[in-house]
Chain A
Amino acid sequence: MSTAAHPSTGFLALELDGDGGHPAAWRKARHAPAELLDGTRVRATVLAAESAGFHVATFADGSLTPASSEPGGRDIPGRLNALQRAAFAGPVTGSIVLVPEVDTVYTEPFHISTQLASLDYVSGGRAGWLVAASDQAADAAAVGRSFVPADGLGREAADSIEVGHRLWDSWEDDAVIRDVATGRYIDADKLHYVDFESVAGYSVKGPSIIPRPLQGQLPVLAPAGLLSADQLSAGAADAVLVSAPTPELLAGEIAEARAAAPAAAIIAELDVVLDARGQSAAGRLAELDAHTPWRSSRARFVGTAAELTGLLASVLETADGVRLHPAVLDVDLEELAQLVLPALRRQGVLAPRQPGSTFRDLLGLPRPASRYAAVSAPSVTDN
């Protein structure tokens, strides 16, 4: 991709889960606790992210924070389905990219591919897929399946992505012909069985039940380390999310991820606590941590808006994007919107945002042709 080799501008993603990344964030939110789990809140946060100038909104799913899932946990134990939150946001937003996290281990790949393709339709081509692979026994028990140990997760994720890729291609772009003269709504030669066989022992026949997504293929994001070098070089992911223990160590991790996946966009992960409401960031964090400590595997920035602006500008010199996890959405997002993003825009660090453009456009990816269209005379009758 073009931005990978010589980055000049980058993009910013914002994680919108709960009331923020900090488990005790709900104590500082500007709404009653129960109002977290409704459409009004989803609409308000995604619109705030869009108007602040974020390029991408992500929606966490899967296992909740350890603090809340412990018996008698103090923090938020509930979460709306990520893909539906993204779909709900689709029609009310105009430029922000919507990326739900979706598990690949205990879900049906056929359903996921259809749901994500549908998200692309309801958002006008602004959808992506943040691939997750659950390592929780509770997720296996919920659907009554055998637990997949850590060494099998990459395979499960890669298989699910491959099913998605094939199903999204299974309708060629011009499969719907609506030809009144012959009475044919579709050209059956342009629909393809995908005949996927997994190592784990399941198969998916296809074709998809929905025409090819608007983007052709939705961009796939995966955390670094989930997919093998082979899977990455085969194009399993379009972007890799990189974590480091501290902001200082991010540059090294970014370089390493870039070497492992030269074709993928690299997105750095960053927790953020800013000075706000006359309180220092460190003071705010201490207050929140007194309720529940914030454990996270991501680098954390705690400081002023000006310092964060400097850090982001520097990270974006090597990374294609940064995903921010604000401690408290209602507080930190306001600071980001008023101070940080305008400063980055003034410096010309951020990619322009255009209504009507797709996630692939943002990543500098062309719209690919269907793999089945490229083969000569492929036809469902051959299968």
Chain B
Amino acid sequence: MTDTHIGNGFVPSGKLQLGIFFQGVNSGTVWKSPESGSQTDFESFRRIAQTAERGLFAAFFLGEGLRLREHLGRPHALDVVGRPDAQTMLAALASVTTRIGLVATQNTTYNDPADLAHRLSSLDLLSGGRAAWNVVTTDNAWTGANFRRGGYLDHADRYVHAEAFVTTAKRIWDSWEDGAIAETPAAPAWAAPGSARPVHHQGKHYTVDYVPRLPRSAQYRPVLFQAGDSPEGRDFAARQADVIFSAHPRLGDALDFRRDIVERTVRAGRGANDVKIMPASEFILAATPQEALEKKDWVRSLQIGPEQAIAYLEQFWGRELQGFDPDGPLPDIDPVVEETSETRGSGFHGAKAKQLADQWRAEAKDKGLSIRQFVSARTSRGDSSFTGSYTEVADRLAEYARTGAVDGFNISPWLIPTGLDDIVNHLVPALQERGVYPTEYAGATLRENLGLATPVRQDADTVRLQLTVGEQLL
């Protein structure tokens, strides 16, 4: 039996939340299905966001693109690609939704803190306190080729840089006093003099000297999500984040991850329940277990066709493999090892290419797998996928709520824009029957709906203590 004890004073809420992650660039969306709609038209976004809101989802997530994914030096042609700017789209969705949280993935490296903090504040005020920022970091010159700053950041510095950025953003959001704005037009001034404190930051990578333009929102400031999984990323989240967008949906792993995060959060001087955890996940559901399994085979066959299987290997081999039969064995030629860049995919690690190829060939031979079968198994998302009947999956999820392994799930629908219909129509009621899912929104803001406490204002002195090496306060 799984050890469900978490410790350090952590108390399971007994409830789950759901979020939807509208994937921009990905291989998981089944665009080959006739039911698949546009990935860029506003109606796709509106439909899925409104369906999610009908299902009382806490949050709607959008990713951020800074450079198009490449494959062997050209834009990758096989998967879904092309997406709107996250905050622009969320601002539009804010006007056609009323309760769902609006989460924008935004990079700390290729944005300016004053500009990004201001835009997130705008989204937060426009939406009545429903905005959130999913903090991500990048450090490569390949992405930087689209920006004025270029590739200016060392990999080792990315969290130091990100933390200084987030700290600066929080100071911008904390800069207006509560009640600063006049109550009547007869007041001497629109805002009390001195109500907006200037924010100064002088660091290794950038300087900020800024008078913030916006008051706090109904939820005080945007909710912070963070998705890094390295020890540095986890510590960063434990110090700064409200919610972790994790990659650990299996119950045992999720419990281990929770224990680790609770420990780090307490060590950072925060409460054991202060950081929520919502792993990325995919749901393939049907009325019966058998139908769900058949549906899963169908989804997988569309996600990994013969072209995708070959292209997947090409990313690691660094060369064309079009001559190889997708239904035959793995290529007997060796990978090109000298090229190492993001254009070959996130899984590629330079000099290890030959070693990895040897390992895969041996594994495929042992198991008697073709290229297609091998790639399908490697990319099957077995870890993040919940397949089964509505009641079966609801029972499994109830266990997560009981143990407190997670606070909810971020669902990546494999079909746009109808991919949440099943979940909202059948899974949500099944979870509600089990008492583990809300039956109404707890409040008007994302912070209330996630059960997060109002943050404590960060004054200059507290910020000084939290700054890490490499950045200092003026």
**A and B co-occur in one complex:** yes
Taking Cβ atoms with an 8 Å cutoff, the residues of A that contact B are 26-29, 32-34, 37-39, 42-43, 64, 68-69, 71-81, 83-85, 87-92, 106-108, 110-111, 114-115, 117-119, 121-122, 124, 138, 141-144, 171, 175-176, 178, 180, 182-188, 191, 202-211, 380-381
For B189, give its contact among A73, A91, A211 (CB under 8 Å). Answer: A73
Contact A209 B95 (CB under 8 A): no
User: What chain B residues lie within 8 Å of A207 (beta carbons)?
Assistant: 68, 75
Task: List chain B residues, Cβ under 8 A from A38.
Answer: 125-126, 128
Q: Is the CB of B193 within 8 A of A87?
A: no
Enumerate 23 A-B pairs (CB-CB under 8 Å) in ascending A order. Answer: A34-B182, A37-B125, A38-B125, A72-B189, A74-B188, A80-B214, A84-B123, A91-B42, A91-B46, A91-B95, A114-B65, A114-B88, A117-B84, A118-B85, A122-B89, A141-B208, A142-B112, A186-B82, A204-B145, A205-B146, A209-B68, A381-B73, A381-B74
Interface: B298 (CB within 8 A):
no
- For window 10-40 of chain B, which residues contact chain A by CB distance below 8 Å? 24, 31-32, 40
B191-238 residues with Cβ-Cβ distance < 8 A to A are: 191, 193-194, 196, 206-211, 213-215
Rounded to whole Å, the gap between the CB of A103 and the closest CB of chain B is 10
Decide yes or no whether B147 CB sits under 8 A from chain A. Answer: yes
Asked if A84 and B96 sit within 8 Å, CB to CB, the answer is no
Contact (A184, B189) CB under 8 Å given A33-B181, A85-B126, A144-B207: no
B183 interfacial contact with A, CB 8 Å: yes
Is B325 part of the binding interface, using a Cβ–Cβ cutoff of 8 Å?
no
Q: Would A84 and B87 be within 8 Å (CB), given that A144-B206, A176-B82 are in contact?
A: yes
| Nearest-CB residue, chain A, relative to B142 | A205
Contact A39 B77 (CB under 8 A): no
- Contact in complex: A79, B94 (CB < 8 Å): no
Contact partners of A138 in chain B: CB under 8 A: 209-211
Pick the residue among A72, A121, A380 that contacts B74 (CB under 8 A): A380
Q: How far is the CA of A72 from the CA of B92 in the complex (A)?
A: 34
The 3 closest A-B pairs by CB, nearest first: A183-B307, A209-B65, A122-B92
Within 8 Å CB of A187, what residues of B? 77
Q: A71-B193, A381-B74 are in contact. Are A210 and B85 (CB under 8 A)?
A: yes
Q: Across the two chains, which residue of chain A brings its CB closest to B188?
A: A74
Closest to B186 in A: A27
Query: Could you tell me the distance in whole angstroms from the C-beta of A206 to the nearest C-beta in chain B?
Result: 7
**Interface locus among B113-121, B246-254, B328-336, B377-385:** B113-121
| A88:B147 contact, CB within 8 angstroms | no
- Extra inter-chain contacts (20) besides given A37-B125, A68-B190, A176-B82, CB under 8 Å: A33-B183, A39-B95, A64-B213, A71-B193, A76-B191, A78-B215, A80-B125, A108-B110, A110-B147, A111-B110, A115-B85, A118-B89, A141-B209, A142-B115, A143-B206, A184-B77, A186-B82, A188-B76, A202-B150, A210-B40
> Does B184 have its Cβ within 8 Å of any Cβ on chain A?
yes
CA distance in complex: A371, B145 (Å)? 22
A68 partner residues in chain B, CB cutoff 8 A: 190
Closest Cβ of chain B to A156, distance in Å, is 11
A144 B209 Cβ-Cβ under 8 A: yes
Contact check, B208 vs A143: say whether CB atoms are below 8 A apart: yes
Specify which of A77, A143, A208 lies most central, judged by the most chain B CB atoms within 10 Å of its CB: A77
Docked complex Cα distance between A57 and B24 (Å)? 30
Rounded to whole angstroms, the CA-CA distance of A138 and B186 in the bound complex is 30
Cβ-based interface call for B306 (8 A)? yes
On chain A, the residues within 8 Å of B127 by CB distance are: 39
- Determine whether the beta carbon of B146 is less than 8 Å from that of A186: no
Query: A143 touches which one: B91, B115, B125 (CB < 8 A)?
Result: B115
In Å, the complex CA distance between A381 and B46 comes to 37
Q: How far is the CB of B198 from chain A (nearest CB, A)?
A: 10
- Which chain A positions have C-beta within 8 A of B85? 111, 114-115, 117-118, 210
Task: A182 to B308: give the CA distance in the assembly, Å.
Answer: 10
Q: Is the CB of A206 within 8 A of B146?
A: yes
Q: Is B345's beta carbon under 8 Å from chain A?
A: no
